Chain A
Amino acid sequence: MKLARDTWLIFQRQFQLLLRNPVWVLVGVFQPVMYLLLFAPLLKPALNAPTQAEAYKIFVPGLLVLLAIFGGLFQGFGLIAELRAGVIERSRVTPVSRLALLLGRSLRDVVSLIAQAVIITLLAFLFDLRVFIGDLLLAYLMLALIALMTSAVSYGVALKVKSEDALAPLMNTVAQPVLLLSGILLPLTFAPGWLQGVAEWNPFSWAVDGTRALFAGDLGNDKVWQGLAIIAVLAAAGVFWAARQFARTVR
């Protein structure tokens, strides 16, 4: 009860500040929109897809997962600014729930990610992408879980390193291989066997496969529940670890 109340309190505050500067949501969505407009048209011939819509069904889910991973991983920067301003310390001397300090922020990130995902989906509709609404909502759930995990991890790391200079290269180093090994831009069906073998171990690869299955309207595909389950477990672990960083005494 207290957790829910405190989480709502922190979420409201963070969301209000986000609304005061909504341009950041648009900045975040700029790059994927560029991919959608300037890169995706190459895909129909490249993937040998029968129609443009088919190509988008492969590409858009990957793009959304990419957005969720990167959007989440870079949230830590905002936290470092808050750390420097003393806002975190001020919160930590109050009895407010430590888990709420994390969840309130991560939920704000989830909401802003979903807003961005909606913008991209609507744009993709203009290019004849069609998805059944139920499948789309499940895909958004997957994206929400990914963003929850990556933003929580980013906050946890930010509390540990406490400096932008350390956070930026760290996040990039993690994000690059994760991105390339998840078949986000092109499906890994094109990959040589060893690469597919490595990607098996990348949870985001499962998430991308699951999301693609949903966009293809293939709800019964095992990849869907497998992807959701893997990401849900990782999100829970990420939240647990990051909340401990909030609770731990920071010098």
Chain B
Amino acid sequence: MIETRGLRKSFRSRQGRETKTVDAVRGVDLKVTEGEIFGFLGPNGAGKTTTLRMLATLIEPDGGEATIAGADLREDPAEVRRRIGYVAQGGSTWEESTAREELVLQARMYGIRKADAHRRAERALAAFQLTEYADRKCKTYSGGQRRRVEIALGIIHEPKIVFLDEPTTGLDPQSRAHMWDEIRRLRIEGMTVFITTHYLDEADALCDRIAIMDHGEVVAEGTPAGLKREISGDVVLVGLDLAATPQAAQLLDSEEYVTKLETVDEGGLRLHVDDGAVAIPRILRRVDAAGLPLASIELHRPSLDDVFLTKTGRSLRES
């Protein structure tokens, strides 16, 4: 659905007398398949929005190629525009207009006839639960309502792909959960969804596949589960008192599912295993059979932040 090869963009910025060139995106190769929710995860300034704006024909790439929904980005941006929807990060509604007016205008800008535009607007208002506020000015809407209008605007022409730039930034937790449902609904309706986010949980919960971006480059690409599995297995923390620790260590070190065993200074063990859910009952049985006093057992699964840390040497939460 989307394929890019070596997409590049640099900006020149002036600071006083010096002109500096900032390489915002340095060669992005991506493959997004039809019908998936694809996430672009990375800290602010990683080049996610720039890449998205290039794909949405808003800025011209300095180099590289891209095919979007079968149309060539460099050769035929007009055709790309017809096939995609784009929802910007900073909003796109005019305060003095109503949601209905905005939707009708948007449909008509895509060349849809007046009567059809009105029908589509009506349908979109119902689908996004906006009918009640349809004829109020946009400035009266809550953050969540406004964001729903913006997404409705982005898909009024039924594009094959919709790009959502940080769709949940600034929303309260409830609106955020609601927005996730809306995004999943887009996929059910057959759209390919491309989102950017700097929220780890969002990438994890919502996206079928993600690409992690840092300093203008894609540093990892895969399913959230696959990426986590790739960097490390699960960690099981076994809580024991200091006296019982050496014996338990000896006991468990010989188990084949334990890939690495560390003892904790205050007592207890840290076991690296491939799959914690399978390992825990076996650990329990083993420790129990030996009659050792087990205080607690805890499972740690790697997060996308661990993936980010492994790939970039920094934590996403810090950057």
Q: Assess the B91–A9 pair: CB atoms within 8 A.
A: no
Tell me the nearest residue of chain A to B157, going by C-beta.
A94
Segment from B104-112, B192-200, B207-215, B236-244 that makes contact with A? B104-112
Q: Assess the A94–B110 pair: CB atoms within 8 A.
A: yes
> Does A176 reach chain B (CB closer than 8 Å)?
no
Q: How far, in Å, is B181 (CB) from chain A's closest CB?
A: 24
Q: Assess the B96–A6 pair: CB atoms within 8 A.
A: no
Given B56, B93, B109, which contacts A85 in the complex, CB threshold below 8 Å? B93
Q: Report if A13-B81 is in contact (Cβ < 8 Å); known contacts: A93-B86, A95-B110.
A: no
> Does B128 reach chain A (CB closer than 8 Å)?
no
Interface size class of A (residues with CB under 8 A): 20 to 34
Chain B residues with Cβ under 8 A from A16's Cβ? Answer: 101
> Does A86 reach chain B (CB closer than 8 Å)?
yes
> Does A189 reach chain B (CB closer than 8 Å)?
no
Chain A residues with Cβ under 8 A from B57's Cβ? Answer: 93
Describe A's contact surface by its main secondary structure.
Answer: helix
Q: Assess the A251–B59 pair: CB atoms within 8 A.
A: yes
Q: How far, in Å, is B102 (CB) from chain A's closest CB?
A: 9
| Most chain B CB neighbours (cut-off 10 Å) among A13, A17, A95 | A95
Q: Assess the B90–A9 pair: CB atoms within 8 A.
A: no
**A85–B97 CA distance with the chains assembled, in angstroms:** 12
**A89–B110 CA distance with the chains assembled, in angstroms:** 14
> Does A49 reach chain B (CB closer than 8 Å)?
no
**A251–B62 CA distance with the chains assembled, in angstroms:** 13
Q: Assess the B105–A86 pair: CB atoms within 8 A.
A: no
> Does B92 reach chain A (CB closer than 8 Å)?
yes
Q: How far, in Å, is A105 (CB) from chain B's closest CB?
A: 13
Q: Assess the B96–A21 pair: CB atoms within 8 A.
A: yes
> Does B7 reach chain A (CB closer than 8 Å)?
no
Q: Assess the B58–A92 pair: CB atoms within 8 A.
A: yes
Give 1 or 0 for each of A227-247: 1 = CB within 8 Å of chain B CB.
000000000000000000000
Q: Assess the A17–B59 pair: CB atoms within 8 A.
A: no
Q: Assess the A93–B82 pair: CB atoms within 8 A.
A: no
Chain A residues with Cβ under 8 A from B60's Cβ? Answer: 249
> Does A4 reach chain B (CB closer than 8 Å)?
no
Q: How far, in Å, is A101 (CB) from chain B's closest CB?
A: 9
Chain B residues with Cβ under 8 A from A87's Cβ? Answer: 92-94
Chain A residues with Cβ under 8 A from B78's Cβ? Answer: 95
Given B85, B88, B96, B109, which contacts A86 in the complex, CB threshold below 8 Å? B88
Q: Assess the B91–A91 pair: CB atoms within 8 A.
A: no
**A93–B157 CA distance with the chains assembled, in angstroms:** 12
Q: Assess the A91–B109 pair: CB atoms within 8 A.
A: yes
Q: Assess the A85–B110 pair: CB atoms within 8 A.
A: no
Q: Assess the A95–B94 pair: CB atoms within 8 A.
A: no
Tell me the nearest residue of chain A to B60, going by C-beta.
A249
Q: How far, in Å, is B242 (CB) from chain A's closest CB?
A: 61
> Does A128 reach chain B (CB closer than 8 Å)?
no
Tell me the nearest residue of chain B to A9, going by C-beta.
B108
Tell me the nearest residue of chain A to B111, going by C-beta.
A95
Chain A residues with Cβ under 8 A from B58's Cβ? Answer: 89, 92-93, 249-250
Q: How far, in Å, is B282 (CB) from chain A's closest CB?
A: 55
Q: Report if A93-B59 is in contact (Cβ < 8 Å); known contacts: A9-B109, A20-B96.
A: no
Tell me the nearest residue of chain A to B104, going by C-beta.
A13
Give 1 or 0 for each of A68-96: 1 = CB within 8 Å of chain B CB.
00000000000000100111011111111
Chain B residues with Cβ under 8 A from A92's Cβ? Answer: 58
**A9–B113 CA distance with the chains assembled, in angstroms:** 11
Q: Report if A95-B88 is in contact (Cβ < 8 Å); known contacts: A9-B105, A9-B108, A17-B96.
A: no
Q: Assess the B95–A85 pair: CB atoms within 8 A.
A: yes
Chain A residues with Cβ under 8 A from B91's Cβ? Answer: 85-86
> Does B316 reach chain A (CB closer than 8 Å)?
no
Q: Assess the B88–A82 pair: CB atoms within 8 A.
A: no
**A21–B57 CA distance with the chains assembled, in angstroms:** 34
Q: How far, in Å, is B190 (CB) from chain A's closest CB?
A: 20
> Does B269 reach chain A (CB closer than 8 Å)?
no
Q: Assess the B105–A85 pair: CB atoms within 8 A.
A: no
Chain A residues with Cβ under 8 A from B92's Cβ? Answer: 85-87, 89-90
Q: How far, in Å, is A166 (CB) from chain B's closest CB?
A: 14
Q: Assess the B56–A93 pair: CB atoms within 8 A.
A: yes
**A85–B110 CA distance with the chains assembled, in angstroms:** 20
Q: Assess the B59–A94 pair: CB atoms within 8 A.
A: no
Q: How far, in Å, is B56 (CB) from chain A's closest CB?
A: 5
> Hey, which bits of chain A sit against chain B, CB under 8 A?
2, 6, 9, 13, 16-17, 20-21, 82, 85-87, 89-96, 249-251
| Given A93-B85, A96-B109: 7 more A-B contacts, CB < 8 Å | A9-B105, A9-B108, A16-B101, A17-B94, A85-B95, A86-B88, A86-B92
List 16 interface pairs A-B (beta carbons < 8 Å), by A numbering: A9-B105, A9-B109, A16-B101, A17-B94, A21-B96, A86-B88, A90-B86, A91-B109, A92-B58, A94-B81, A94-B109, A94-B110, A95-B78, A95-B82, A96-B109, A249-B59
> Hey, which bits of chain B sit against chain A, CB under 8 A?
11, 56-60, 78, 81-82, 84-86, 88, 90-97, 101, 105-106, 108-111, 153, 157
3 interchain residue pairs of minimum CB distance: A86-B92, A90-B92, A94-B109
